Structure 1
Amino acid sequence: MPDPSPGATRAHNALEASRQLVARRKGVPMVVSLRGARQAGTPVTGTADARLADLFETFHADLHPDGADDETALIETLQAVAYDRLLGGESGPHATAPAQPAPLPGDPAEPAPLPGHPAAIGRAATLADLRAGRFLRVMNYHNTPPGMRDELVAELTALARDYAVVTPDDLDRFMRTGRWDLDRPALLVAVYEGYRDNYDVAAAACEEAGVTGWFFVCTAFMDAPAERQYDFALDHRIKLVDENPRGERIAMTWDEVADLHRRGHVVTPHTASHELAERVVTEEDVRREVVEPKLLVDAATGGDAACTAWLAGTHWTGRGVADRALVDAGYRYLFANTMVQRLPDPRD
């Protein structure tokens, strides 16, 4: 963690350090709720869970003494907690922890979503998820240029030592049972957009560290002619670095997608053109951004893409065209800013 600023709390320093990672296009840790999991009869035990919940409550009070309970406040708190626990060096995942505290007065023992709104956002619902063990640590990457390779290998290797990097089978099992069958705390490695250097660098780094990568690809970015990909990225809020040259291919190919799948990684859509959920309103929008990306990825891998994510990390509420389209298309999970949600099964 960087040197503390005068008067700043541990929470503020962790949040600022995380923001610096974002600005420098580095891997950014996050903690997210797992929504839609079977409710286990008793909370998941473990020192990491108790410490994480306590730290969330402390950091929220430090960062938002006014009690702010909107999504921005929640994201900032989870971002600071994740940096502190995964990268900050304040405490390791197996450190000795106090006994798991009881819920604070006024906090529900379980999340209490509003009717018709299955993804309640707020401090109380998230705290309940953390204390019950219904959460996941995520390392989020975007650009992974060659100059980042050694740093990425070292970071992933260190994380793999302390955390069990989850596979789709692990996530499915947790959602069915409410339990992780893992020997260490669970962590997921997510790599976004489908850059060529995700294939060239990130996948190889994951393999050297012995972890499974989850690659969320923008299919229209990949389908753009190589000489147009740089401008496509600029037009669709796909961030670039100096090692992404204009006029050369900077996105994956479909052969590379197929190869990642063969090598045991997860490849799944991130819409076609890095789109916002709020802009998917017509049948054509649905076909382009929801249905076709899954058909294309499934055709390339021979698999069944289980997940997707919107630009800006919009969560699923069960309302609107975009939400219905995800279910109809056959996605099982939506990755959002503060949660991974199991989507309803239309067969149920």
Structure 2
Amino acid sequence: MNTTLLMLGQFSSLSAKLVVSAVLFTVYLKSRRRSALIWAFAWLVAAMSILSDALGVLQLISLTEATFSSMLFLGSLTFLSEEIGKNIRYSMLWAAPPLVAAMYGILLGNDWDSVVGIPYGVAAFFIALSGIMILTTISEEFTNARRAAFTLCLLGLHKMDYAFLRDVAWFAPIGFTLGAVLTVLSAYFMAKMVLSSGFTHLKGGTAISVKPGIELVTSKDYHRVKEELNGYPVLAFIRELSAPDKWKAYFLTSLPGKDTIPPTSLPRVLELSGRYLREAEMQGITGVVVIDGIEYLIVHNGITAVTKFLGTLRDLVILRDGRLIVVADENALDRKDYLTIRRVLMGG
């Protein structure tokens, strides 16, 4: 293969991997999304695979490719867990096969096919599977995530043909160039994904000034709140379908759909709120979280679970100098429950 082409491809791939790793780590420091941290280490290991390839150490090639694939897959599982608000059990176990295949190949094999070929194919399959999982789960509106997932699918599928076509002289420059291009595109779209508002769930800035604090308001007062914060990037969890355009609103319902959250997914509400409040703080604005539908949450979770949830949410808001607005009508709740909620939120 042309030496210049080889060096250019390796330099492009190395640069893309190091840059996206740095971007992901920076995003993690700001958002604290575990998926960003795992992906950051995955791409850093991927950069090391270029060094192992240059050295020609088969065992190192196998290990770095397998580690990249496993961490990429684990990061994708974590990302989906963050997005859908459900813990994926045994995620580290599901991400282990590429590493297991690599270890078997190294320990039991003595030729290229055993040490690199089969483990490389398993790793490539899990790269493609990472993209497929995201494509089939994430909303079509999260275009940056879908583009990143699509390029990961293509990268994984292309890597799977390496073991069969690596000795075909005419295909070598084509395959290498295609691999370098897909690597750069995958890194680019993943960087765009984590830097987008879809990853942080906060859109734009505002000229409206909002003071931090905790509010317990009635349904009547809630109409006033919507008018006052009509142009503000509020994060709201509501039981009505209408919300101001600038608000990022999630509909509390047991039915599946776009921007919906099951009433029993209280940890998901906390996770979204924490991420939103961190992003608001970074932008220098007061994060505002609205909870409308307390009665509905109590029906599905019980008063004890809901008060614990509100207490944790209150602490998150206070720590980030945000504003929490909870909508609850005293006449719609048991008086004891209402007073408990009021005491948890207002401290009295």
- TM bin (shorter chain): under 0.3
Higher strand content, 1 or 2: 1
Q: Of the two, which has the highest radius of gyration? A: 2
The answer to which structure, 1 or 2, has the higher relative contact order (CA under 8 A, 6+ apart) is 1
Higher helix content, 1 or 2: 2
Structure 2 length normalisation: TM-score?
0.23
